[in-house]
């Protein structure tokens, strides 16, 4: 297990699912964890769980689409060594349509959260990382951006911004001890999937490893990228996808 004692990590959208598991795993590895969520109760529940297991954590409530709110909340948490840009929009809340039949107003939430969110959060912490000579920025991306998916054009376009941001910033700060990478995820399991025969068949036919992703798959990769073992890995988009795309 990676040794992250003495490091501070802030995970956005960490009140549930991938973000929550990542927060738990980073805390288990010794990091002091900031659990960000727009819903205070979700963040507080994860913090209490981490503390109950002997870890160190605090809530960091802020809307990542609001730069002023991010700057204030992150500043109260303190210096951030490891930033995980995880906050996202669950697609289940949107009616997916072919692009030319969409209402353009439906694009804005994706752009705000998936483009401005990582930019705001990274902007708030990157200068401090450079000053201290050590940092990790890890953005959670999507295989929809790498490979494309029908009826997900706006979502895919917005998720494509994160890897582009990480690649560019990697070249700006690589000589300052800071790495910037993206983890590109295929479909993550959620409640009810195991009982849906159609979704199960999709997993069997579309994935080399015949299941959907689990939060633990992502959290393990985050901990590795956050560690000194991955100090020479930067500017990369790393698939966590069960073989959904093999190039």
> What is 8-240's CATH superfamily?
NAD(P)-binding Rossmann-like Domain (3.40.50.720)
Tokens of 199: 């979704």
Handedness of CA 123, 128, 134, 136 (dihedral sign): negative
Contact indicator for 14, 23 with CB cutoff of 8 Å: yes
H or E segment and range at residue 156: helix 153-159
CB proximity list for 111: less than 8 A, separation 6 or greater:
154, 158
Tell me the C-alpha distance between 218 and 88, whole Å.
Answer: 15
Instruction: Find residue 135's DSSP bridge partners.
Output: 178
Helix/strand/coil percentages in the chain, nearest 5: 50, 15, 30
CA triplet 189, 191, 192: central angle to 5 degrees? Answer: 100
Question: C-alpha distances in angstroms, 119 versus 17, 182, 201, 233, 234?
Answer: 22, 13, 37, 21, 17
Q: Are 47 and 73 in contact (CB under 8 A)?
A: no
* Residue numbers annotated as active site: 155
Q: What is the DSSP string of 157-207?
A: HHHTHHHHHHHHHHHHHGGGTEEEEEEEE-PBP-TTGGG-HHHHHHHHHH-
Ordered per-residue pLDDT tens for the chain, 247 residues: 568 999 999 999 999 999 999 999 999 999 999 999 999 999 999 999 999 999 999 999 999 999 999 999 999 999 999 999 999 887 655 557 888 888 888 889 999 999 999 999 999 999 999 999 999 999 999 999 998 888 889 999 999 999 999 999 999 999 999 999 999 999 888 765 555 666 667 667 888 998 889 999 999 999 999 999 999 999 999 999 999 998 8
Residues 247 and 238: their CA atoms lie apart, in Å, by 11
pLDDT at 195: 57
**Which sequence spans correspond to the domains of the chain?**
8-240
Residues 6+ apart with CB under 8 A from 181: 137, 138, 139, 166, 170, 225, 230, 233, 234, 235, 236, 237, 238
How many other CB atoms are found less than 10 A from the CB of residue 1?
11
State residue 207's pLDDT score.
Answer: 87
């Amino acid at each position: 297990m990676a040794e992250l004692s003495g490091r501070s990590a802030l995970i956005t959208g960490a009140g549930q699912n991938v973000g929550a598991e990542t927060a738990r795993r980073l805390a288990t590895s010794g990091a002091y964890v900031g659990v960000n969520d727009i819903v205070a109760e979700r963040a507080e529940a994860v913090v209490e769980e981490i503390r109950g297991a002997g870890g160190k954590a605090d809530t960091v409530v802020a809307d990542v689409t609001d730069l002023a709110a991010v700057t204030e909340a992150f500043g109260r948490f303190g210096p951030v060594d490891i930033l995980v840009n995880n906050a996202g929009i669950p697609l289940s809340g949107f009616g997916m349509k072919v692009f030319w039949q969409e209402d353009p107003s439906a694009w804005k939430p994706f752009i705000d959260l998936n483009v401005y969110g990582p930019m705001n959060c990274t902007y708030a912490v990157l200068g401090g990382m450079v000053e201290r000579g050590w940092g990790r920025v890890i953005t959670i991306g999507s295989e929809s951006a790498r490979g494309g998916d029908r009826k997900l054009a706006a979502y895919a376009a917005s998720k494509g911004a994160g890897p582009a941001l990480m690649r560019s910033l990697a070249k700006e700060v690589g000589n300052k001890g800071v790495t910037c990478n993206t983890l590109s995820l295929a479909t993550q399991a959620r409640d009810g999937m195991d009982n849906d025969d159609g979704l199960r068949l999709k997993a069997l036919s579309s994935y080399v490893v015949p299941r959907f992703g689990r939060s633990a798959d992502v959290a393990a990769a985050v901990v590795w990228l956050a560690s000194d073992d991955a100090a020479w890995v930067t500017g990369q988009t790393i698939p966590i996808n069960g073989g959904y795309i093999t190039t």
